[in-house]
Amino acid sequence: MASAKRILLIIGGGIAAYKCLELIRRLRERGHSVRAIMTKAAHQFVTPLSVGALTNERVLTDLFDLDDEREIGHIRLARDNDIIIVAPATADLLARMAGGHADDLATAVLLATKNPVLVAPAMNPAMWLNAATRRNVTQLQKDGIEFVGPAAGEMAERGEAGPGRLVEVPQLIAAIETVLDEGKEKGGLLAGRHVIVTSGPTHEPIDPIRYLANRSSGKQGFELAVAARDLGARVTLISGPVSLPEPHGVDIVRIKTAAEMLEAVRASLPADIAVFAAAVADWRVASPELEKIKKTEGKAAPALALIENTDILKSIAQPGPARPSLVIGFAAETQDVLAHAKKKLKSKRADWIIANDVSPSSGVMGGENNTVHVISAAGVESWPEMSKAKVARKIMERAATELHAKRTAAE
């Protein structure tokens, strides 16, 4: 648990605003102090009286609430805290944040702050998925704003479901404490955790000198191992044949075939997190030749009989005592990226699938950058194009938050 912090909570006008009452109670129980700003719309959903009773502070709404100190007042309010939480963040509030508006106290404070800002969106799924909201979220992420959620599920509107629910309070607290910990003790988020990462291609022998392979460079997997190491985890990196320098401080297990990779993963368990970034060959040659296959004039080309390799991710993600708390797969697709990835989430029983477009025009295979979508039971989150190192860092930070949330929920 993080030490006592000063939290500024901005409550937006959404049906989920009532969850803020529970959030304030839980934060104060954990020793944090909470000050609240409510937007005008928020007043339609919770009363300043109940919010004020729980925070034990005057609730603010208007720039004019700050009386004659107004100018200095909102600047001080923006600075005198360790983190600003926006929950529930409505589509309108996100749009105003992305546009740099400052026409009420909430937006003025958000524009003036230099402190970390964590946003928990809540809105109708159609509004969340609308192109305008997508643009605003991408812009805010680029500006360094952190997001938690939304979760997927039934909406207040009858019969509607999809991503748009405010995340539950334990998840929100875990995200808040993760962001706070990052500022303070960067590096410790995964301390004491064991993370397994598979990476690179596999080589499936045809004969002693020929093999089936793919174009994976292993860069994303290596970056994931480095990111987990930098967050304090003990890391086992199980890598197919790649030509990348070995990262220090990581246990590296080098394998060639999918069968060897499966064995190495099993031997490395137990783990808290397993990330399957390897481009494992789906098939191997049924009976590789022990001697080099010779071409003989007049003789037909050899036919290769293939058999399917065990799906390593799927086998490790099966429920059971050895299953890591968080199992993350990748989906490398060249078309219908999201639809295929969603299918994989279910069929492989992963907690998240990180989907990316690897068609040659994307430049992902072998390139430095990646554009990914994070698919989980909570829905789809699309991240802007980033370096593979940044993608790795964000995935591992998010994984740390998720583990922390599981622990908080179990407390």
Binding marks (x or -) toward ligand CTP, 318..347, rule CB under 6 A?
-----------xxxx-----------x---
Span near ligand CTP by CB under 6 A; candidates 131-139, 187-195, 238-246, 274-282: 274-282
Closest to 284 measured CA to CA, from 261, 302, 309, 264: 309
Question: Is the bond into 88 cis (omega within 30 degrees of 0)?
Answer: yes
Span near ligand CTP by CB under 6 A; candidates 13-21, 130-138, 171-179, 272-280: 272-280
Known catalytic residue at 124: no
Closest to 198 measured CA to CA, from 125, 122, 279, 304: 279
119 binds ligand CTP (CB under 6 A): no
What is the DSSP secondary structure assignment for residue 378, as one 8-state letter? T
278 binds ligand CTP (CB under 6 A): yes
Span near ligand CTP by CB under 6 A; candidates 8-16, 18-26, 236-244, 309-317: 309-317
311 binds ligand CTP (CB under 6 A): yes
Which of 128, 147, 276, 383 is in the footprint of ligand CTP by CB under 6 A?
276
Count Cβ atoms within 10 A of the Cβ of residue 296 and give its class: 0-12 exposed, 13-18 middle, 19 or more buried: exposed
What is the DSSP secondary structure assignment for residue 243, as one 8-state letter? -
CB 311, min distance to ligand CTP, A: 4
355 binds ligand CTP (CB under 6 A): no
Total residues in contact with ligand CTP, by rule CB under 6 A: 15
404 binds ligand CTP (CB under 6 A): no
Cβ(257)–Cβ(204) under 8 Å?
yes
Q: Provide the sign of the torsion angle of the four alpha carbons 100, 106, 111, 114, taken in this order.
A: negative
370 binds ligand CTP (CB under 6 A): no
The full DSSP string for 35-75 is EEEE-TGGGGTS-HHHHHHHHTS--B-SGGGGGGGHHHHHH
Nearest CB to ligand CTP, comparing residues 129 and 213: 213
Please, which of residues 186-245 interact with ligand CTP by CB under 6 A? 198
Nearest CB to ligand CTP, comparing residues 66 and 275: 275
Please, which of residues 148-177 interact with ligand CTP by CB under 6 A? none
CB 344, min distance to ligand CTP, A: 6
Closest to 180 measured CA to CA, from 328, 337, 32: 32
292: CB partners within 8 A, 6+ apart: 207, 208, 209, 210
Which of 113, 309, 356, 401 is in the footprint of ligand CTP by CB under 6 A?
309
CB 208, min distance to ligand CTP, A: 23
392 binds ligand CTP (CB under 6 A): no
Closest to 9 measured CA to CA, from 65, 82, 87, 77: 87
Q: What is the spatial distance between Cα 260 and Cα 246, in angstroms, rounded to a whole number? A: 19
Q: Which residue carries 């477009």 as its tokens?
A: 357
258 binds ligand CTP (CB under 6 A): yes
Nearest CB to ligand CTP, comparing residues 231 and 312: 312
Structure tokens at 235: 């890391």
Cβ(394)–Cβ(386) under 8 Å?
yes
Q: Which of 124, 214, 309, 370 is catalytic?
A: 214
Nearest CB to ligand CTP, comparing residues 11 and 261: 261
* Amino acid identity at 170: P
CB 261, min distance to ligand CTP, A: 8
282 binds ligand CTP (CB under 6 A): yes
Q: What is the spatial distance between Cα 148 and Cα 166, in angstroms, rounded to a whole number? A: 9
Nearest CB to ligand CTP, comparing residues 82 and 311: 311
* Interacting residue ranges for ligand CTP, rule: CB under 6 A: 198, 258, 276, 278, 280, 282, 309, 311-313, 329-332, 344
Catalytic sites, residue numbers = 214
